[in-house]
Amino acid sequence: MSRGLYSSELLRCVDPEHRRLGVFFRDEIAEPLGIDFWIGLPDENAARISATRPDPTVIMRLMSGDVGSLIGSGDPRYALHNYEVAFLTQLLTAPDSIPSRALNCLAPSGVAPQELANHPKLRGCELASSSGFGSADALARLAVLVASGNSLGSARIFSSDRTLRDAIEPAGGYAADGMMLTPVAFTQGGFGRFVHETTQTTSIGWGGAGGQMVRFVPDLDLAIGYVTNTLGSRMAMNDPRGLMLLAAATQCASARHCNGELHPSRRGQRRSRDSNSDAEFAGGLCAQRRRPQTTATPL
């Protein structure tokens, strides 16, 4: 939460027009590239948003003391790691803990926790760490911009290609994150850096509350965006829904590379509508190569 606030204030200080991060993003990135993504949602777009609904299973089991059924669950949506149990326990029962103070500090009074993401006041706040609104297509296009080093089709944003190249370089070692209670590797630009345990494939990106995900795989020229309005309780990097789609797309892209094919097969898939269309998915996957050719599979 705090990193987004710091980023916005730093940007406002150095920007000649003193714009907030949400305004700067729309002016300099989203609108020039035709990306349907907002940091802080204008009221006129509220009707386009699919309201979120939480899956209460994890919270109900935690509050009843049934931790064993979570850690040993055969359902990956509920099979929490010990640090996830510790995080949620602090969030729910320890108001002075870092998780509780960080995530509840901006909650309007009188609003139930499960309704925070649907509250107009929270949607309108320009919180770069939490108030992003858009489609899977928009997330994938943003990931393509970073993965390509500064281009989306013929459009270029940064004056120097080195900016994004440096941003995805690994940062120094990290101890356990004070918020998430587990070590997380980051890049110099603040992206999460993940290495698959089995394939050793590196992906870079992050996730949002409840299971949203955006990742790109530099070695495969692949970018993935996943959004859902059914909110899970796993941490951003552990929700199995997006991870399974990432694994499947990575496997397909790896096979195409091995076979010398330039573009992934689109058999059995449909092309997405143009990025400037009003089409929205309550839940969906958008996978892109660096070339702006898009496929989408609604869930």
What's the whole-model pTM score?
0.80
The closest alpha carbon to 270, from 288, 293, 295, belongs to 295
Q: Is 272 helix (H, G, I), strand (E, B) or coil?
A: coil
The rounded distance, in Å, linking the Cα atoms of 179 and 284 is: 28
Helices (H), ranges, 119-227 = 120-124, 136-147, 162-167
Please report the pLDDT score of residue 113 as a whole number.
66
Domain-located, residue 2: no
Angle at 229 between CA 282 and CA 106, to 5 degrees: 130
Arithmetic mean of pLDDT over the chain: 80
Strand partners, 222: 217, 289
Domain-located, residue 98: no
Confidence of residue 160 (pLDDT cuts 50, 70, 90): confident
113: which 2 tokens? 């926790």
pLDDT in tens, 48-101: 888 888 888 998 998 888 888 888 888 999 999 999 999 999 988 898 998 888
Q: Are 133 and 49 in contact (CB under 8 A)?
A: yes
The rounded distance, in Å, linking the Cα atoms of 248 and 186 is: 24
Domain-located, residue 230: yes
Domain-located, residue 6: no
Cα Dmax for the chain: 58
Helices (H), ranges, the chain = 2-14, 21-25, 31-33, 57-63, 68-71, 82-93, 98-104, 120-124, 136-147, 162-167, 240-258
Question: Residue 210 has what DSSP assignment?
Answer: T
Answer yes or no: is pLDDT of 278 > 50.
no
Domain containing 166 equals: 135-298
Domain count of the chain? 1
Domain-located, residue 286: yes
Domain-located, residue 139: yes
158: which 2 tokens? 């940064």
Confidence of residue 17 (pLDDT cuts 50, 70, 90): very high
The percent of residues in the chain predicted with pLDDT above 90, rounded, is 25
Taking residues 128-138, what's their average pLDDT?
A: 86
